[in-house]
Amino acid sequence: MDYTLKDLLDIPGLQALLDSLRALHQLASSVIDPEGTILAASGWQRLCTEYHRAHPPSRQKCIENELRVGSQAGESLMPVIHRCPMGLEYAVTPIVIEGEHLANIFVGQIFTSSPDESYFVRQARQFGFDEDAYLAEMRNVPIFDEETLHSYLALFRSIANMLAEQGLHVLRQRVANEELRKSEKRHQTILQAALGGLCTIDMQGRLLEVNEAYCQKIGYSRQELLTMSIFDLEAAETPTMTSAHMRKIMEDGEGHFESRHRCKDGSVIDVEVNVRYCPEDGGQFIAFLRNITERKRAEALHRMGQDILLALNENEDMKEAIQRVLGLLRSATGVDAVGIRLQDGDDFPYFYQEGFPPDFLQKEDSIVARNKDGGVCRDSCGNVCLECTCGMVISGSTDHANPLFTPGGSAWTNDSFPYLEVPADQDPRTTPRDECIHQGYASIALIPIRAKGRIVGLLQLNDRRKGRFTREGIEALEDIAKNIGEAMLRKQAEEKLVASERFLRMLTNQLPGMVGYWDRDLRCRFANDAYKEWFGRSPEQIIGLTVQELMGEELFRLSEPYIRGALQGEPQNFERELVKPNGETGYTWAQYIPDMVNDKAIGFFVLISDVTELKRAEQEKAALEVQLMQAQKMESVGRLAGGVAHDFNNMLSVILGHTEMALLRMDPNQPTYASLREIDKAAQRSADLTRQLLGFARQQTVSPKVLNLNESISGLLTMLHRLIGENIRLQWQPAANLWQVRMDSSQIDQIMANLCVNAHDAIADVGEIIIETGNCTFDERDGTIHPHGAVGDYVRIRVSDNGSGMDKETRAHIFEPFFTTKEVGKGTGLGLATIYGIVKQNNGLIDVASEPDKGTTFSIYLPRFKGSEEPATPRTATSSFNRGNETVLLVEDEPAILAMTTEILTQLGYAVLQAPTPTEALRIGCEHKGEIHLLMTDVIMPEMNGRELAKSLSQFYPRIRCLYMSGYTSDIISPHGVLNDSVHFLQKPFDFTTLSLKLREVLD
């Protein structure tokens, strides 16, 4: 403890006590502290004062002795009787307070026995004293016996105890006073600093005490506040509400709440109040108040920051986001005006603002420096020069050592007006315009908007009131500006990403196949619209699904090896058959392309092409190749048939003609008649075979007519019944309102006869053949397309039987020439080939449906005729000859045919003019005096063709009729124009009956 006996005792009183004791007992006494300081002394012998203490060497010796003996007494806490080095005796009693040795009482300067004068003589000589005078003073020192000394020693011990008790009392009083002082100091400290402010309020709301901190915050002096009540200061509650609040605190004993207090300058601060009710002294409220205005502002800025982040993240449009941000800023800060400048070319005009007057915007919208010609000013590095403090902040040329600027590059002031008086050489602003100041804005904050370390704009807040900003608030605004910059970058990146994804999606959606991306977790991250056709889900529904969830377990199991290979970095290619949601089966070609990053596949791209059409095309190609082979076979046979047809037909014509004439002149009973009949039959069969060969090779010369197939087939029913026999039932099911077709009626005869014969041969015993007709339309728009791709209107002939049917292998060959399933000698293999050729020659279609033991159905589609020509009347078979008496000019370059035909015509009653060449025919025509009714001419002849001959003769005989005949195939004849509807044609070979009928058809 830092105190001495001098601090605890009344030293003058102590001196008086020692003086009293001296008067009573004639004893010298003194009180000396442990440092040797004499606090009080009385009755000291002159031997000490005049000699021992007066002489420096002896004085030092006395002091050292006193310190040593005093220390011994302090250590033992017991009185000590001692002889000093100068020869005097004294007793030492320690004074101890609270365990502290504070001083010693020295009593004595006596002798307890007669002194040895020789000792003092030596001292006088040692220290240079006057020996006589020194000895005289020595003899004046009193002598006390030891008993008397001990009695006095007990007295001074009691005195030491008394002094210790008195000192202890003083000490405790002093400690108490010190504690009280410290307590008062602490109280004052609490009063002045606790929670920023403190006030005492009585039951009527009057202020009884306030501290300086509250005075400083509220703006009133202590004297002013002590004349006011809490009702004068409360801004958040009415007096009635405040009184009710006080009663509630009385009941609860305390309260903790936030409120708002009105300052002397009219502003309002937010305060946090901790109040306790003390019932003493009539009841008082002790309120501790803390100014939380900055905290509230920080909380508001934080909330505003959160709201701004939300606005920046929620709004897709950047301008809408900026508008919302500025609205929030203005609302939260309460400033008069806010704005954002963003780069537009070389300038930084306001992108959006709220609160700035129009005249200000007109002057301050542009901040780019311009020369006298209006051009943009640039510095030596080519950078655009920007004016105003806004330009300094945007250019990043602020000096944060100046109070106007912050380390973050912002500029701000709570009182802009003094800057009008700053000399130009002292102004921290390089190119000030001062328009904000002239508009009356005192508080100005200019915050740079940064994106990736580059300043891309400016956030500006202006208010006409002073003191609107704090450094913490500016730092918060810098964070907000940073968020705006990052949001702008993010928005730009998002817009680019959206545009890129939109372009990618548009691009991939134009592709015919599926395009997707799958990560290592086998989750879809991208899919184009083509997936919907194959998996029935939109891209939005697919993205996020796993492969299993999209494909299903079975398809995933099949695809898993390829997926595993792709994730190992190996491209995969494979074909897969898929079933679409509509049940259709399709074929795809899939490619899995690894997405490699640092030599590791992080996913894989999927490219899936629809190869269904390609697959079908391949199948069709295979079918077409089969058809081509069929066509090539038929063409080969056709060429063979066509090559020999002319000569073969001419020879058959001679044979048939002469045989038939011989039979007509011969008695059937003659032996050779039967032989001639066999020759005739063989020739007929040869002629039929030639026609079949030409028919399937589509080189049969035809004369197409408009036909109603119901009528044509009805005319054949009798003949068909005879062909199939009585054990097979023939059903005829004609369709009503059947469309017309245009073709040679003889070809219908061939088709129906061949189909019915084939059906008959397929039925082992009894059975049924059904012949149907109908109209049929194939339309690409409604999907009713013939398997061969045909569209349009067709007339259908369907012939069905319930015979043995055919397997797939047989069906693949039935239209090939000479292919037959019949026994040797029972079929030529040209029946269905002929039908096929006739159908193709007439641009029709033919299908066959058949299964073993389930019968066969042939469907023939012939193009609908939409012209106005009247249908031909079906011919009926007859065996009589039609005769005539007209004149016929016969032109034939083949002598045998010329002679044979002349004989037939003569027998039929006609007058015949023969000509072996066209030139001879013209000569005969010119020289003949009578009428020539008919020109019967070969088509192909050396000098000119039959048409040219007919045209020349018509000049002499305008009414002459023409009948053309030829043994050539259609591809040779048709270029010469004889297959015209107005031309009559007769195919070689022909017999009596055919010729007679044809002649009357032409002449009548």
For residue 969, the tally of other CB atoms under 10 A from its CB is: 25
What is the predicted pLDDT for the residue at 879? 43
What is the predicted pLDDT for the residue at 877? 39
User: Which tokens in the block code for residue 955?
Assistant: 């000049």
Please, where are the H alpha helices in 201-271? 212-218, 222-225, 230-233, 239-252
Query: pLDDT for 793-820, tens place per residue?
Result: 999 999 999 988 888 888 887 877 666 7
Residue 287, CA distances (Å) to 231, 239, 276, 280, 585 in order: 14, 17, 6, 15, 86
Percent of the chain as helix, strand, coil, to the nearest 5 = 45, 25, 30
pLDDT of 919 > 80? The answer is: yes
What is the predicted pLDDT for the residue at 691? 65
Give the chain's mean pLDDT. Answer: 82
Please give the Cα distance from 440 to 533 (Å, whole number): 68
Q: Considering Cα of 565, then 566, then 568, then 569, what sign does the dihedral take?
A: positive
Please give the Cα distance from 457 to 342 (Å, whole number): 4
User: Which tokens in the block code for residue 688?
Assistant: 């039929």
What is the predicted pLDDT for the residue at 564? 93
Residue 528: closest CA among 543, 512, 539, 517: 539
pLDDT of 194 > 60? The answer is: no
Q: In the sheet that 961-966 helps form, which strands lie side by side, from edge to edge?
A: 911-915, 887-891, 934-938, 961-966, 984-987
Phi and psi, residue 732, nearest 5°:
-115, 120
Please tell me the number of Cα atoms within 13 Å of 419 on its side-chain side: 25
The larger pLDDT score, comparing residue 655 to residue 684, is at 655
What is the predicted pLDDT for the residue at 145? 76
pLDDT of 765 > 70? The answer is: yes
For residue 376, the tally of other CB atoms under 10 A from its CB is: 13
Query: pLDDT for 714-724, tens place per residue?
Result: 988 887 888 78
Please give the Cα distance from 412 to 417 (Å, whole number): 13
Q: What percent of the chain clears pLDDT 90, i.e. is strictly above it?
A: 25
User: ∠ CA(865), CA(869), CA(873), 5° rounding?
Assistant: 100
Task: Judge contact between 696 and 855, C-beta under 8 A.
Answer: no
Query: pLDDT for 827-862, tens place per residue?
Result: 556 778 778 888 888 889 999 998 998 899 999 999
Please tell me the number of Cα atoms within 13 Å of 811 on its side-chain side: 17
What's CA 190's distance to the chain center, in Å?
Answer: 61
Query: pLDDT for 604-615, tens place per residue?
Result: 999 988 888 888
- Please state the rounded mean pLDDT for residues 915-938: 91
- Please state the rounded mean pLDDT for residues 990-1002: 85
Q: Considering Cα of 784, then 790, then 796, then 800, what sign does the dihedral take?
A: negative
For residue 66, the tally of other CB atoms under 10 A from its CB is: 20
Instruction: Show the domains of the chain with their CATH numbers.
Output: 5-174 (3.30.450.20), 203-291 (3.30.450.20), 297-495 (3.30.450.40), 511-610 (3.30.450.20), 702-877 (3.30.565.10), 887-1003 (3.40.50.2300)
Please give the Cα distance from 55 to 989 (Å, whole number): 188
Beta bridge partners of 574: 590
Report which listed range, 128-132, 313-317, 969-973, is most confident.
128-132
- Please state the rounded mean pLDDT for residues 130-148: 81
Q: pLDDT band for position 734 (50/70/90)? A: very high
What's CA 159's distance to the chain center, in Å?
Answer: 101
pLDDT of 304 > 70? The answer is: yes
Q: What percent of the chain clears pLDDT 70, i.e. is strictly above it?
A: 87
pLDDT of 434 > 50? The answer is: yes
pLDDT of 974 > 70? The answer is: no
What is the predicted pLDDT for the residue at 787? 58
What is the predicted pLDDT for the residue at 703? 65
Phi and psi, residue 209, nearest 5°:
-155, 140
Q: pLDDT band for position 248 (50/70/90)? A: very high
- Please state the rounded mean pLDDT for residues 515-543: 89
Q: pLDDT band for position 188 (50/70/90)? A: low
Beta bridge partners of 771: 732, 799
- Please state the rounded mean pLDDT for residues 637-659: 73
- Please state the rounded mean pLDDT for residues 17-27: 72
Residue 678, CA distances (Å) to 428, 673, 683, 687, 824 in order: 134, 9, 8, 14, 21
User: Which tokens in the block code for residue 732?
Assistant: 């005829």
SS (H, E, C) 463-512: ECCCCCCCHHHHHHHHHHHHHHHHHHHHHHHHHHHHHHHHHHHHHHHHCC
pLDDT of 971 > 70? The answer is: no
Q: Structure pTM? A: 0.41
Per DSSP, the three-state class of 758 is helix
pLDDT of 629 > 80? The answer is: no
